[in-house]
Amino acid sequence: MTRLPESVSVGRDVRIGAYCRIGEGVRLGDPGFGYEWAGDRWRYRDHPWGVRIGDRVDIGVNTVINRGRWRHTMIGAGTKIDACVFVAHNVHVGAHCLLVAHSKFGGSVTIGDHAIVGLGATVNPHLTIGERALIGAGAVVTKNVPAGEVWAGVPARKVRDREEGETI
C-alpha cells in the first residue's frame, strides 16, 4: 500500500503504483516549464499529459516530478529517487534506477533501466542515458550516454565501462 504524507502535492492525472514511499514536500504532476516565442512575448504551452509512477518506487523529500507536455512523465518500477531531485516534463526513467540528491533532468530525457545518476548531476533536455550507465557526481551531461558506460566531468565524458554490480 502507498501512503502519501499530507505535505505531498498531487496534480492532475498522476498515477502512483503499489508499495511506494513518498517523502514530505514532494510535488507530483505540476505543469512543466514550456514556452514558445509568439512574435512579441513568450506564450505558455500546456502540459496535458500526466505522471506515471511504477510499483516500489521511493521518492525523497522535496522532489519535483512535472507532468508531460507530449507524453506522460514516467518513473519505472523499483526506482529510488533521493531528496531534492528535479524531473522535468516528458522524462522517462527506467526500472530500478538510482537518482541521487540534487540531480536534475531536463525535459524529454530518457533513462534506461538500472542507470545511476550521482549527486548533483545535470542531464540536459532531450538526451538518453543508456541502461546500466553511471553518471558521476556533479557531472553535466550534454550528449547521449551509451549503455554500460561511466561518465563524469563538466562537460561529462566517458571515463570507462561500468563494472558488473558496480554502484555508487
Contact 147, 162 (CB under 8 A): no
Q: Which percentage of the chain shows pLDDT scores above 70? A: 100
Contact 132, 145 (CB under 8 A): no
Mean pLDDT of the chain: 97
- Domain boundaries along the sequence of the chain: 9-161
Span 9-161 CATH architecture: 3 Solenoid (2.160)
Contact 55, 20 (CB under 8 A): yes
Closest CA to 102 of 79, 118, 80, 126: 118
Render pLDDT for 90-146 as a digit per residue (tens, 0 to 9): 999 999 999 999 999 999 999 999 999 999 999 999 999 999 999 999 999 999 999
pLDDT of the residue at 158? 98
Q: Active-site residue numbers? A: 89
Pairing of strands 104-105, 122-123: parallel
Contact 21, 59 (CB under 8 A): yes
User: What are the two backbone dihedrals, phi and then psi, of residue 43, each rounded to the nearest 5 degrees?
Assistant: -110, 130
Whether 59 shows a pLDDT value over 90: the answer reads yes
pLDDT of the residue at 166? 79
Contacts 24+ apart (CB under 8 A), 142-150: 147/112
Q: What is the pTM of this model?
A: 0.95
Q: Which percentage of the chain shows pLDDT scores above 90? A: 95
